[in-house]
Amino acid sequence: MRMVIGNGVIANRFIDYSLQSKYLIFAGGVNDSAIKDEKIIQDEEAAVSAALSKHPNAIFVYFSSCSIVDPEVGHTPYVQHKVRMEKLIQDSAKNFYIFRLPQVLGLSDAKSSLVNYLVDAISNQKPFELWKHAQKNLIDIDDVHAIIGDVLSGGLCLNQIINIASTHQTPVLQLVRDIEDFIGIPANCMLVSKGTSYDIDISEIKIILAELNIGFGDDYVQAALNKYFGHLLHPSKLLSVIVPTYNEEHGIEEFYRRTKSVLDQLSPRFEHELIFINDFSTDNTLHKLKLLAQTDPAVKLINFSRNFGNQIGITAGIDFSRGEIAVVIDDDLQDPPEIILNLISKWDKGYKVVYGVRPNRQGVNPLFKLTAKLYYRVIGSLSETKIPKDTGDFRLIDRVVIESLKKMKEENRYYRGMVAWVGYPQVGVVYERDKRYAGVSTFSFKKYVNFALNGLTSFTEKPLYFSSLAGLFITSISFVLAVILIVSRIIDPTVTIRGWTSLTVIILFFGGIQLLSTGILGVYISKIYREVKGRPLYIVESSVNIKHRSDDQ
């Protein structure tokens, strides 16, 4: 059941809430402050009433407007509509949040929002009136999403009206000058002596702004213009989505549908390529991928000659990716594709690696959750490379990280550790991992054990010191015991030293220590043996829609 109602910039940005059940996000289509069509207004009011009736137990999240406190537009149909909706929700919803927004910075096909209107008008030399005394509060939609996410997750200000806005007012005249400088075209405008400004109380979110490190400096608007309208001046960036797959015939089409929907929302900022690496599936996965590739040129298929494993599949996807950024994601839909928008918003702030953090995982055995948490803490304490806790392979990596990873040729690959080792600014995005969409996991207990051991031995040599430390400890204990026995014998020569049982236990203990030490050493020697053979990491049997190939597989 879809829990985000509406379309446009706000609804699209909150798509990551669409499949949860706690919140109903209503981001309606009435977002033009100049609207006069009563039918559109009435239709939305009916939609709000219907949503309240249909989801009585959900926390109702409604997006209103800060224009309500602007005395200059209080009489308009748009503001009166928002006032009525706020009253309806306060009277009808059990629990609610009403978020009032100012002018939102984001990319939209609609030209009704101020910034989109001005960019379109200036780019196409359309004449318009410029109110030289007007000031507007501007906030990036990604910052809106982050602030509201923090409010919802913390349960703050429930059943209240909250202003989500900037700390600064931007003169519209300055905004036009910024757009002119950005596009390089003078505006065809006529100055009109109109316009006012009004203060917006953001006291409820000041602490959140500080915690999220959201600042509204002099370059805030310029950064948003470059982010959302850079494609007007330069070619769109390319986003590569890397998808290792094995026996996922029942879920591959739904994964494609949801992921494609998210990627389409990123256009025209980003073009995209979906790189599927088929790890020698034995079901109908390959056939379905070929059909997708035939209908969508953005779908690219790499088909292995045999099963090389998930980590090698990721490696092949990285080798063949062409994007400025790449997102690695599994196709079982446990990692929601909608979270890709959250990863990109962090990349926009300068991070080169954005990894998913999953403290809560649905449909997972509690014992497995516990062992996974213990494993990450063990490897974190032993390894010099700080591998983030509670993470998987779902993450975004920048091109500089991709190029660094392509230089790493070890056969025993632990991808999440390799990305951590590379460095660069990295940050996590918390999300709730879903249940598997269809089928059963092909990652057996044996594979999990091998994967864990590979990660442990690939990023720390400390297990090799185990036998030395154990030997030192046992030798010390033996020396103390020998001194005690000698002294006892001198004091009382009649003392009989007993202990056949304890002697047997000690021999077995020593034998276990030796075997364990030899086994640890054998693991490292085995890894060395596999590395020195220098075999290719993978062999591609066939490919579809692949034009670029790496020479160093």
pLDDT, one tens digit per residue, over 338-387 is 999 999 999 999 999 999 887 766 655 566 556 656 655 655 565 566 76
Non-local CB neighbours of 537 within 8 Å, separated by 6+ positions = 308, 312, 315, 316, 409, 411, 413, 553
Share of the chain above pLDDT 90, in %: 30
Round to whole Å and give the CA distance between 192 and 488: 106
Tokens of 363: 């449909």
- The length of the chain is 553
Q: Can you give the pTM of this predicted structure? A: 0.79
Round to whole Å and give the CA distance between 502 and 97: 69
Average pLDDT over residues 279-288: 90
Round to whole Å and give the CA distance between 480 and 493: 19
pLDDT of residue 134: 85
pLDDT of residue 552: 44
pLDDT grade, residue 157 (50/70/90)? confident
Tokens of 317: 């996807």
Say if strands 299-304 and 540-544 run parallel, antiparallel, or are unpaired: antiparallel
Residue 468 reports pLDDT greater than 80: no
Round to whole Å and give the CA distance between 179 and 117: 11
Residue 511 reports pLDDT greater than 50: yes
Round to whole Å and give the CA distance between 128 and 123: 12
- The more confident residue out of 1 and 305 is 305
Average pLDDT over residues 121-150: 90
Round to whole Å and give the CA distance between 375 and 394: 18
pLDDT of residue 14: 92
Round to whole Å and give the CA distance between 86 and 79: 11
User: Of 110-114, 199-203, 212-216, 515-519, which range is least confident?
Assistant: 515-519
Average pLDDT over residues 18-27: 90
User: Of 50-54, 123-127, 317-321, 375-379, which range is least confident?
Assistant: 375-379
Residue 444 reports pLDDT greater than 90: no
- The more confident residue out of 472 and 191 is 191
Average pLDDT over residues 36-58: 85
pLDDT of residue 473: 66
Share of the chain above pLDDT 70, in %: 74
Q: What is the DSSP letter of 301?
A: E
- The more confident residue out of 110 and 59 is 59
Three-state secondary structure call for residue 393? strand
Round to whole Å and give the CA distance between 521 and 524: 5
Tokens of 241: 């989505």
Residue 50 reports pLDDT greater than 60: yes
- The more confident residue out of 410 and 377 is 410
Three-state secondary structure call for residue 330? coil
pLDDT of residue 40: 78
Round to whole Å and give the CA distance between 208 and 147: 7
How confident is the model over 236-270, as pLDDT tens digits?
999 999 999 999 888 899 999 999 999 998 989 99
- The more confident residue out of 73 and 280 is 280
pLDDT of residue 209: 92
pLDDT grade, residue 129 (50/70/90)? confident
pLDDT of residue 527: 66
Average pLDDT over residues 264-282: 92
pLDDT grade, residue 304 (50/70/90)? very high
User: Of 51-55, 124-128, 184-188, 458-462, which range is least confident?
Assistant: 458-462
- The more confident residue out of 474 and 195 is 195
- Report which residue type is found at 416: R
pLDDT grade, residue 317 (50/70/90)? very high
Round to whole Å and give the CA distance between 381 and 387: 10
pLDDT grade, residue 550 (50/70/90)? very low
pLDDT of residue 342: 93
pLDDT grade, residue 298 (50/70/90)? very high
Taking CA 219 as the corner, what is the angle to CA 214 and CA 220, rounded to the nearest 5 degrees?
A: 40
Residue 485 reports pLDDT greater than 70: no
Q: Which domains does the chain have, with CATH numbers?
A: 4-109+139-166+199-231 (3.40.50.720), 237-444 (3.90.550.10)
Round to whole Å and give the CA distance between 428 and 268: 26
Angle between helices 172-183 and 114-123 (to 10 degrees): 50
Residue 69 reports pLDDT greater than 50: yes
Say if strands 325-328 and 391-398 run parallel, antiparallel, or are unpaired: antiparallel
* Spatial contact of 88 and 49, defined as CB atoms under 8 Å apart: yes
For residue 361, give the nearest of 381, 391, 387, 328 by alpha carbon. 391
pLDDT of residue 39: 81
Q: Whole-number mean pLDDT of the chain?
A: 82
pLDDT grade, residue 407 (50/70/90)? confident
pLDDT grade, residue 145 (50/70/90)? very high
pLDDT of residue 6: 85
pLDDT of residue 553: 47
* Spatial contact of 296 and 290, defined as CB atoms under 8 Å apart: no
User: How many H helices and E strands in the chain?
Assistant: 18, 19
